[in-house]
Amino acid sequence: MTVTLLTYTPDADKLVASAAKLCYSRSDISTLMDNLTPDKVESFLTLLNDLGHSSPIEHASFTFGIEGVSRALLAQLTRHRIASFSVQSQRYVDKSSFEYITPPEIESLPEAKAEYIKAMEEDAIHYENLRNILIKKHTETFMSEGIDEKEAKKLAEKKANEDARFVLPNSCDTKIIMTMNVRSLHNFFSLRCCRRAQWEIRELAVEMLRLVRGVAPLLFAKAGPGCVRGKCQEGSYSCKKADEVRKELGFAK
């Protein structure tokens, strides 16, 4: 997995503080940032957190490039609906000899790993066979409609991908560009940095949290699962390892 912070709102901490200041001040918008020192920025962001006033943090957003993840992860990720996604298309991209993600538990068991690799190789064969059959059929159809052979084959390849992709596994790799505002990111980190989250999306969330803290530390100072701020919210499903989670995510005990 590779996660890159592609771009983000400049001076995000200060922008959010100015939005918060507007809510509680008679200042004109043109002078909102005047005298907004680092100490005052921190004070406004602490006030927002204490009051549970989350709307100002929606003004800042972060865009990530994500590679080396599975379609299984994508299905979970897009459940976070207040976000923007651009995803490598299996309809327009030929996935012959596709790369795939191997779960750690399977990787750690030689017998399971061998079975898994065999399944991936078989899927690749079925995908390529189906694609070739469909390309031949569609090329002939397009040529019968008066399209020259070169263009007919080009159109046929795209059309073949559309149906051949149905045999691709959940483990098939994909690439994603994703943008979330800070409020959505807090929700994402609360759910997906938890030990109960599925391993792949948790790995993604922890890395994303590390990246955003590097450029907007005040906005994400308390971001993470409930146990980093207080009591675990998972009830009887708790992993009961809050201290370990806090340490892993960079929080003091």
Phi, psi of 134 (to 5 degrees): -70, -40
Q: 84 - beta bridge partners?
A: 179
Residue 66's SS3 state is: strand
210 is catalytic: no
Q: How many CB atoms lie within 10 A of CB 129?
A: 12
Residue 127's SS3 state is: helix
Q: How far apart are CA 230 and CA 245, in angstroms?
A: 12
Of the candidates 6, 107, 124, the one whose C-alpha atom is nearest the C-alpha of residue 65 is 6
- Find the catalytic residue in 71, 131, 165, 192: 192
Q: How far apart are CA 56 and CA 161, in angstroms?
A: 44
Q: How far apart are CA 250 and CA 253, in angstroms?
A: 9
Tokens at residue 32, please? Answer: 């909102």
Largest CA distance in the chain: 73
Residues 188, 190, 192, 194, Cα dihedral to 10°: 180
Contact of 164 with 134, CB cutoff 8 Å: yes
Of the candidates 40, 84, 80, the one whose C-alpha atom is nearest the C-alpha of residue 62 is 84
Q: How far apart are CA 108 and CA 102, in angstroms?
A: 10
Active site residues: 192
